[in-house]
Amino acid sequence: MKLFQLTALATVCLGLITGFSSCEKDSEKDKVNLYQKSDIAVTGAQVAPNGTPTTGLGTLSVKYDKRTKQLNYTVNWSGLSDSVIAIRVNGPAPIGYPALNPAFTGANPTLFTTTPYTVIQEVTGQTAAPFRAYLPNSGSYSGTIIVNEIKAKEQDILNGYYYVTIHTKTILPVASPGNMYYRWFGEIRGQIKWQ
């Protein structure tokens, strides 16, 4: 009976040690494969090529898992000048620079899809005039991007070369085409970064 108890105790101890070491291994794998950052500032000052005079603000939370190749993000905003007509993930471009699409001509200023950026993912509302509100001037949106190494590249994500812009239907009181700045370039921007 004593031998049975000792064998059972040894088996339980071995199971606990194995369980703890596998948890430790998962934790170590997360350190290498999982990237997360919360409360990244989303502001008008970050919009490129020129910052915007908006009082609107936002925050961005991002999570990337190298094992699943998924980038998940949530952007929150408040105090924008008008309704949101598009939310875009753009890139690649570092902080302070736009990811300009060389094919952009500025044509069709009434379309919500008009943007000078190279867009990785886009969420838009009505696609033509008359403009209709897609999202309110304060709100939240969550999205997922599959990193396929064609449109979205893992190395660009890890280097912080993608950014989120929130575009509103505001027409600014300046001469054309500058009056479309919030629609084309975005009213606020936040860089996807890990530090």
Residue 137: domain span? 33-191
The band of 111, judged by pLDDT with boundaries at 50, 70 and 90, is: confident
Give a yes or no: residue 17 inside a domain: no
**Beta bridge pairs of residue 84:** 135, 168
Task: State yes or no: pLDDT of 76 exceeds 90.
Answer: yes
pLDDT digits (tens, 9 = 90+) for 127-181: 445 555 578 899 999 999 999 999 999 999 999 999 999 999 898 999 888 888 9
**What is the total count of domains within the chain?**
1
Give a yes or no: residue 92 inside a domain: yes
Q: How far apart are the C-alpha atoms of 151 and 51, rounded to whole Å?
A: 26
Give a yes or no: residue 60 inside a domain: yes
Task: State yes or no: pLDDT of 123 exceeds 80.
Answer: yes
DSSP 129-186: SSP--SB-SSEEEEEEEE--SSSS-HHHHHTT--EEEEEE----SSSTTGGGHHHHT-
Residues 59-82 have a mean pLDDT of 97
The percentage of the chain sitting over the pLDDT mark of 70, rounded to a whole number, equals: 79
Q: Which residue has the higher pLDDT, 32 or 19?
A: 32
**CA-wise closest residue to 140 among 80, 191, 64, 69:** 80
CB 150 within 8 A of CB 108: no
Q: By mean pLDDT, which of 53-57, 114-118, 164-168 is the weakest?
A: 114-118
Task: State yes or no: pLDDT of 28 exceeds 90.
Answer: no
Give a yes or no: residue 155 inside a domain: yes
Q: How far apart are the C-alpha atoms of 142 and 123, rounded to whole Å?
A: 10
Give a yes or no: residue 10 inside a domain: no
Q: How far apart are the C-alpha atoms of 67 and 90, rounded to whole Å?
A: 23
Give a yes or no: residue 16 inside a domain: no
Give a yes or no: residue 153 inside a domain: yes
Give a yes or no: residue 5 inside a domain: no
CB 62 within 8 A of CB 144: no
Q: How far apart are the C-alpha atoms of 86 and 59, rounded to whole Å?
A: 16
Q: Which residue has the higher pLDDT, 106 or 133?
A: 106
